[in-house]
Amino acid sequence: MPGRKALRADIIAGMEHNMEGQGMFNYRFDEIEKQTTGIIFNIEHFHVHDGEGIRTNVFLKGCSLHCPWCCNPESICPAPQIAQYQKLCTGCGKCAEACPERCCIRKEDGYVITDFSKCSVCGKCVSVCPAGARELFGKRMSVSEVIAEVEKDSAYFLNSDGGLTLSGGEACLQPEFARELIRAAHRRYIPAALETAGAVEWERLWKAAEEADEILMDLKTTVSMQFEKIGRFSLETVTTNLRMLAEAGKNITLRCPIIPDFNDHEGHIQKIAETAGNVGVKKIDLLPFHQLGRHKYAAIGRNYRMADYPEIKDTDVKKMAETLRKQGFQVSIGG
Ligand code: SF4
Ligand code: SF4
Ligand code: SF4
């Protein structure tokens, strides 16, 4: 596996080779970057997880799974959507006046609720809300717009061996956009990691993953029946995709959420070790369940089923990490 510096040198060497004779090439790349668009719901700077060094994370909207513990529930629906944070609402009524669909409804107590089923996501309520109680999740952006934002952090990437991370949602559901974003990053000498749950057809996964420098691949469970409850793909799809990525020589880290009453037991940790060992993956991130995303469920009108679940104890996760380290894996907690 090449080191990070060698990887960056490879990218630069590859680009210099590809861009010999320039002119038309630059014009063509410009056009591709302007014309290729995707729906994203966030760009976050200065992440220290989700890949090596300092990362800028681009979150693509749409997911093929519906994990009940998801801390980004706004990522699941592929289309833009509106959120209302009831706690911030002052009941001023400006959204109700602005809403063309009459889906901001004033209640008897003076506060306003949203009928999401009628919302056309025009965004008018967001711009008039003086309390910051409304938010629009998701907007269509071109590769050139996204990469311009990512490129602002180039100096941090260089000093930390960091780069761009494509996250979600499931980035591979927008494979053309993901691929072109990775290419755009490489044209600017920025390494790119792809985060995926692997629950997509191989063709889509590979289109997004082929040119990524690192793959952060989720392993939610090692039990087929459990996996069927969180998505329409089989666990076998995920493990086959994992094997094929490994056979293609990709630099993979397995990302394993540890969820109470789901997979927080020693048997699962042993299965993670087996799965990783079988495909030669050495790096494992354990991601303990937390409640940081809970406020977003009500805001987008979704039911949150894990409100009463306790967070996983530090000592328990450390023990799991130790079990894996003893078997020769490099393990991080929290990514
Ligand atoms: S986004 Fe438009 S339609 Fe939806 S609640 Fe706001 S104003 Fe109404
Ligand atoms: S505009 Fe904002 S603060 Fe005013 S009622 Fe609507 S959501 Fe509440
Ligand atoms: S795969 Fe990730 S983004 Fe999709 S539902 Fe599960 S936790 Fe959320």
Which of 315, 334, 318 is closest to 326 using CA atoms? 318
| Any ligand 1 atom below 6 A from CB of 301 | no
Contact between 215 and 209 under an 8 Å Cβ cutoff? The reply is yes
Q: Tell the residue nearest (CA) to atom 6 of ligand 2.
A: 95
Which ligand 2 atom sits nearest the alpha carbon of residue 128? Answer: 1
Supply the pLDDT for residue 3. Answer: 54
Which ligand 1 atom sits nearest the alpha carbon of residue 84? Answer: 5
Supply the pLDDT for residue 49. Answer: 80
CA of 168 to the centre of ligand 3 (A): 7
Joined together, the tokens standing for residue 146 give 């996204």
Q: Tell the residue nearest (CA) to atom 8 of ligand 2.
A: 89
CA of 137 to the centre of ligand 3 (A): 16
| Any ligand 2 atom below 6 A from CB of 133 | yes
Which ligand 3 atom sits nearest the alpha carbon of residue 64? Answer: 4
Query: What predicted TM-score, i.e. pTM, was given to this entire model?
Result: 0.91
Pocket test for ligand 3, best of 40, 42, 60, 67 (most atoms within 8 A of CB): 67
Supply the pLDDT for residue 27. Answer: 72
**Parts of the chain with a pLDDT under 50:** 1
| Any ligand 2 atom below 6 A from CB of 181 | no
Pocket test for ligand 2, best of 82, 88, 92 (most atoms within 8 A of CB): 92
The 3-state secondary structure of the chain reads CCCHHHHHHHHHHHHHHHCCCCCHHHHHHHHHHHHCEEEEEEEEEEECCCCCCCEEEEEECCCCECCCCCCCHHHCCCCCEEEECHHHCCCCCHHHHHCCCCCEEECCCCCEEECHHHCCCCCHHHHHCCCCCEEEECEEEEHHHHHHHHHCCHHHHHHHCCEEEEECCCHHHCHHHHHHHHHHHHHCCCCEEEEECCCCCHHHHHHHHCCCCEEEEECCCCCHHHHHCCECCCHHHHHHHHHHHHHCCCCEEEEEEECCCCCCCHHHHHHHHHHHHHHCCCEEEEEECCCCCHHHHHHCCCCCCCCCCCCCCHHHHHHHHHHHHHCCCEEEECC
Q: Nearest bound ligand to CA 129? A: 2
CA of 121 to the centre of ligand 1 (A): 5
Which ligand 3 atom sits nearest the alpha carbon of residue 218? Answer: 1
**Tens of pLDDT, residues 180-220:** 999 999 999 999 999 999 999 999 999 999 999 999 999 99
Supply the pLDDT for residue 1. Answer: 45
Q: Enumerate domains of the chain plus CATH numbers.
A: 4-76+139-333 (3.20.20.70), 81-137 (3.30.70.20)
